Amino acid sequence: MDTLVSPLQPNQGSIVQKQWRAWTKWEKILFRFAFIFIFLLIIPVTIDWYAKAISSKTIFAFLNNLTGYRPNFYNLQTPSGRWGIGSYATWGVAFVAAIIGAFIWTLIARKSKRTNYNTLYYWLRVAVRYRIAIGIIAFGFLKLYPMQMPDPSISNLDTNFGDYNTYKIYWQIVGVSIWYEIVLGLVEIVAGVLLFFRGTVAIGAVLVAGVLYNIAHANFAYDGGVHVYSSFFVLLSLFLLIQYLPNLWRLLILRQEVTPNYYYPPLKTKKQRSVFYSTKYAFVIVFTIIFAYLRYDVHYHVGQLKEPITPGLPGAAGYYNVTAFKLNGKELPFNPLDSIRWQSVVLEKWSTLVYQVHKPFSISLANGTPNPKDIDRSYELAGIAGGRRFLYYTIDYKTQSLVLQDKNRPSKEEDGPGKKKPAKDKKKKEQKLVWHFERAGNNRIILSGLNEHKDSLYVILDKVDRKFASKLDRSEIKFNK
């Protein structure tokens, strides 16, 4: 029998023993606690998750739901519950449940003759490895393509630095550094693939712990809201590395010769080996090759992105000065403190019109979920202040009209699970404005119609060739000698 030492405390003597070393009482108790705690974090325990999985209409939707599961069965409705230490409340509940469960398990097992949990420990590590792998690979493809942090829109580039929410600053910086995002995604994918194989688990776990720790503390610093999920992968990676610590201590600190030898359940029959390896490689293929293709297809062919995709007015994208602004026939002069007269307008390459006034609007704090409809895609306006109102529009070429809807409204992502939108928000969503547009040359657009208060508007917009630093070629940048 090819026997090995206990993974919790490898023997310093012979490499191979005839019998497994019996675990101490405290090793068993700690394992029981760890097993329950990790089980509650990696296995979905909420009905909503299973309902969503069953109702998945596509293979990608099912796989995305599986890879993106986040343990979140207890929420604190406070600022700390969203951005601070309170957002780890689910971990706290799992921790308490694990203590109680380990106590009960220990009472039940008092008369048991079991000397160790080698097999159960091995399969727990397998479950943790695969949970990290599929999650971090899915995370990686979002960056590799890249979709998680898109390139800043025109209106975002026009926003003053002080009008950015802190997390938006971080996301926009990564969005501008597109190759950094792509390389980061590639590292995450490679780390996930390494976790599928026992021989490379340690390297994969170190990569995941290092990369995701960086993401976790960046989200703490910038209120990004992804700190819990990234910390989740760090925690699981550290759990995987525990097995290697004794040998690393002997090798690197004590400078002793070490031959790694860890428990692995023997596959005694050909059928067992066939089932094991076919299942393993089917899993690897599904969550690397197939998922990679489906993610690409959903983004680039289906168009399920964080940003809108419906084309805007042809050749109109850009920054505009408001040359004239009439309200109910009366022209209002430019005034940066006016809450009615527009200061400037941005037309995105997609169907979004953004105007700026001296007036506060509700700020979306969503990270920008890739919603199916453009009207629900909030990434372009999320984290942006400065009196900007974002309007989604459709074009009626027969009447030369724009049909507009307000995008400055809470999204499902912000409402949180189980919350219902107030009736007034639904009414506001359904309100539509119809403005006639006229193209007076290549750089002038004239808008006329009624605003939400039924006041008549007449606005002349003149396009300005505005340069943004992040979009300049090296030849356009002037250096002082």
Encode pLDDT of 361-383 as tens digits: 888 887 777 778 888 888 889 88
Query: Mean pLDDT, to the nearest integer, of 228-244?
Result: 96
Model confidence band, residue 69 (pLDDT cutoffs 50, 70, 90): very high
Model confidence band, residue 230 (pLDDT cutoffs 50, 70, 90): very high
Mean pLDDT over all residues of the chain?
A: 87
For 123, 132, 359, the CA distances from 30, given in Å and listed in that order, are 16, 22, 57
Q: Is the pLDDT of residue 156 over 80?
A: yes
Give tens-digit pLDDT for 171-225: 888 888 889 999 999 999 999 999 999 999 999 999 999 999 999 989 888 888 8
pLDDT for position 346: 96
For 9, 30, 194, 261, 265, the CA distances from 24, given in Å and listed in that order, are 10, 10, 32, 20, 21
Model confidence band, residue 144 (pLDDT cutoffs 50, 70, 90): very high
- What contacts 214, CB < 8 A, 6 or more positions away? none
Query: Mean pLDDT, to the nearest integer, of 316-338?
Result: 95
For 92, 342, 378, the CA distances from 359, given in Å and listed in that order, are 42, 10, 20
Model confidence band, residue 470 (pLDDT cutoffs 50, 70, 90): low
Query: Mean pLDDT, to the nearest integer, of 4-15?
Result: 41
For the ranges 219-233, 359-373, 393-407, the lowest mean pLDDT is seen at: 359-373
pLDDT for position 420: 45
pTM of the predicted model, to two decimals?
A: 0.85
